[in-house]
């Protein structure tokens, strides 16, 4: 479907070469225009994926769910969208969560005495 659309767009963009009535007369030019169109489509889709990932995270989705939605692992989703979610992945505690710097549980403060 995308390939068909890209082919049609490339034909529209390239148009017939100067002095020629046949738009298919230059397959190299047509192939390059098709490649440019596909690159633009890929960039647009990636932008839409980024927006959807941010929206999903803002609505409570974690990296495991976001990764599954795009066919990558939780770690892959964390690499692609770092800082997208503020909470650890399901099934981890702060000390087992990648990047954790604090010990868990947090140290207890010494009891204070009042005079």
Task: Tell me how far the alpha carbon of residue 10 is from its chain's centroid.
Answer: 26
In a 13 Å sphere around the CA of 85, the CA atoms on its Cβ side amount to 23
Q: Dihedral of CA 69/71/73/79: which sign? A: negative
Q: What is the pTM of this model?
A: 0.57
Task: Show pLDDT as tens, one digit a residue, over the chain (115 residues).
Answer: 666 766 667 666 666 555 555 555 689 998 999 999 999 999 999 999 999 999 999 999 999 999 999 999 999 999 999 999 875 545 444 434 444 434 344 445 555 555 5
Residue of 21, 46, 24 whose CA lies nearest to 33: 24
Domain locations along the chain = 51-89
């Amino acid at each position: 479907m995308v390939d068909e659309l890209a082919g049609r767009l490339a034909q529209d963009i390239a148009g017939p070469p100067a002095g020629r009535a046949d738009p298919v007369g230059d397959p190299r030019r047509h192939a390059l225009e098709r490649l440019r169109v596909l690159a633009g489509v890929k960039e647009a889709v990636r932008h839409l994926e980024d927006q959807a990932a941010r929206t999903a995270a803002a609505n409570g989705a974690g990296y495991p769910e976001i990764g599954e939605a795009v066919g990558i692992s939780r770690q892959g989703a964390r690499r692609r969208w770092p800082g997208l979610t503020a909470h650890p992945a399901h099934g981890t505690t702060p000390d087992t969560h990648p990047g954790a710097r604090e010990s868990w549980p947090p140290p207890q403060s010494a009891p204070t005495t009042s005079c």
